[in-house]
Structure 1
Amino acid sequence: MPSAFEPLIVDAHGLALHASQRNASGSPAVLFLHGWLDHAHSFDFLAEHLPDTWRLVLFDLRGMGRSAWLPRPASYQFGDHLVDVEAVLRATGLEAAHFVGHSLGGIIATAYAAARPERVRSLTLIESLGPQAGPPDKAVSRLRGFLEDLERPPHRKVYPHVAAAAARLRESNPDLSGPVAIHLARHGTEPVEGGVSFTFDPTHRRRFAQAFDEAQWLALSAAVSCPVQLLLGAQGLRFDEERTRVRLDALRLARPPQEIPGGHHVHMDSPEAVARALVDFIPP
């Protein structure tokens, strides 16, 4: 039976991040980064199938899960997530780790591996091949959208119960199975007057002031020097074929992309298969 996860509060330059780890003296050390508006519990099913000897470190990105929100009127930007990664590595005393990132988590992990190559031993991307980068001429409209969003008060919707919140998740992500949606909603909501609300900061739904264009993202991908593998859900997200080919060429994968039954949350749909891919890829 795998050992239990121990909770940990991480100080990210004054912001409290909710983290947890299993087998703090184990090896190899593996850091998990979840997707947009998700939380670390999205890796629960996967963790059950990973070796008990491994050291697993999980955390909620700022403003998501149980991590603290930024004070108003602050806004979230991509670089903030790299600050979170540094804080978690510092708090756990890890000089380096193997990174596993789902969706947004994979984008963050890729950027971090480019900036801190000595701290990333390997990179497993789950349904993640970079942002939906736009052309440079979108920069002005993006800035305008960012300023416009500042005038919209963040709206936090109330659902009568967890099942209703899970149903809302399935509306946004039709490939989510019922059990996966319930798990995400159960761990991603909290009681409020009139029912439950999602724990993520609704400010996360605002547009970023800046984003990587395709050339910038390819430069970051090409700077990743550790071994990289890509795991895809058979019914998951896809870029167009040409963009996929160019991005894969930049990343120089250690093995061909592996397709596994499931949707965008394939690590929850097929946790045993994803665990096998990790065990095969990450050296003991």
Structure 2
Amino acid sequence: MPAAAFESLTVDAEGLPLHVRQRGARGVRGAPVVLMLHGWLDHSHSFDPLCEHLPEAWRTVLLDFRGMGQSAHAGPGAAYHFSDHLLDVEATLDGLALPPVHLVGHSLGGIVALAYAAARPERVKSLTLIESLGPSGGPPTGAVQRLRGFLDDARRPPNRKRYPTVEAAAERLRQANPTLSPDAALLFARHGTRRTPEGDFAFTFDPRHRRRFGQGFDEAQWLALEAAVTCPVQLLRGTEGLSPAPELLEGRLAALRTRVSPPRSFEGGHHVHLEQPAAIAAAIAGFVSEASSS
């Protein structure tokens, strides 16, 4: 089903408008409800090619995190924190009155999905993590440097770069992420930029998202979160993606005390769901169908 079949809606996150898109709200009774969470500085359209291969009977919901895509930016003086994105998920579930959902998250979206599933296990039926199995973590001693980085970044004014054309913005994305295909970069740029009053183009994400978090999870804290997940989990990776060290991956998979499918690899990079949308969609469809019937 083409992406145009999605309807755009707004949900309220305690006064902050969040943009969501959905299809299948009046579809087949009892069909799976799937909520998709995009990566850092991306937007919900990053799932458009994938959604063309998912069952039309599903209720599929795509969220733009706060300060990204078409969702509102945080107000002056505010900062973005990881836990804010859990509020975005909860606002979407509440605002659309969704039953327990199957969460699909890419990169940052996968980290948010796993953390939300740990905090609200009764609201999540399964987790599909694309190129994601938690933050970088690190030892507790990193907390001091993290706070220093946060304070340093807060002194720097946001820098919103401008580009003469959408194509130029797409090329900048490819420079930052060489594994991104030209078509994928253009999709990101078309839906992730807007024309400025001066006639050029700027990305819609809030540049304050580039600032470092003041707080984060060390490895022990993250493993404790993983241990609280109760739903089935599957991990989908790109062969040229961001692969964690083997011992880190092994430890994190072992920390999940629920049913974990063997990790699956697909030819591609960090945005493998854009490079192999049909194959990734098939993996999601099979996993969600199995989790729905168990």
TM-score (norm 1): 0.98
The runs of at least 4 aligned residues of structure 1 exceeding 2 Å deviation read 251-254
Residue 46 in 1 paired to residue 50 in 2? yes
| Mapping of residues 1-284 of structure 1, within 5 Å | 1=1, 4-26=5-27, 27-192=31-196, 193-252=198-257, 253-283=259-289
Residue 73 (structure 1) shift:
1.2
In 2: Cα distance, 1:248 partner to 1:138 partner: 23
Which residue identity lines up with residue 82 of structure 1 in the other structure?
Answer: L
2:202 aligned partner, one-letter code: S
User: In 1, Cα distance between the equivalents of 2:179 and 2:103?
Assistant: 25
- State the AA in 2 paired with 1:276: A
Report how far residue 183 of structure 1 moved.
0.4
1:41 aligns to what SS in structure 2? helix
How many Å apart are 1:129 and its aligned residue?
A: 1.0
Alpha-carbon RMSD: 1.1
Cα distance in 2 for residues equivalent to 1:147 and 1:279:
43
Instruction: Please give the secondary structure, in 2, of the residue aligned with 1:277.
Output: helix
Distance 1:97 1:145 in 2: 36
| 1:219 partner amino acid | A
| 1:26-63 residue CA offsets vs partner (Å, 9 max, x unmatched) | 31100000000000000000000001101000110000
Contact kept in structure 2, 1:121 and 1:226, CA below 8 Å: yes
Number of aligned residue pairs: give it. 284
CA distance in 1, matches of 2:71, 2:18: 4
1:263 shift after superposition: 0.8
Q: Is the 8 A contact 1:159 1:194 kept in 2?
A: no
Task: Answer yes or no: is the 8 Å Cα contact 2:11–2:92 preserved in 1.
Answer: yes
- Per-residue displacement from partner, 1:232-268 (whole Å, max 9, x unpaired)? 0111111111111101111255311010111111111
Using the TM superposition, give the Cα deviation of residue 194 of structure 1 relative to its aligned residue in structure 2, in angstroms: 4.2
User: For structure 1, which segment, 87-96 or 33-42, has the greater mean C-alpha deviation from structure 2 after superposition?
Assistant: 87-96
Cα-to-partner distance string for 1:173-213 (whole Å, 9 max, x where unaligned): 11001100000111000001241000000000001010000
Deviates more, 1:90-99 or 1:196-205: 90-99
| Distance in structure 1 (CA, Å) of the matches to 2:169 and 2:21 | 25
The residue type paired with residue 13 of structure 2 is: A
Q: Deviations over 1:109-146 (max 9, x none)?
A: 00000000000000000000110112111111111111
Runs of 5+ in structure 1 lacking a partner?
A: none
Q: Is the Cα contact below 8 Å between 2:33 and 2:99 reproduced in 1? A: no
3-state secondary structure, aligned to 1:282? helix
Which stretch has the larger CA shift, 2-11 or 93-102? 2-11
Q: Give the partner amino acid of 1:19.
A: V
Q: Classify the secondary structure of the residue corresponding to 1:274.
A: helix
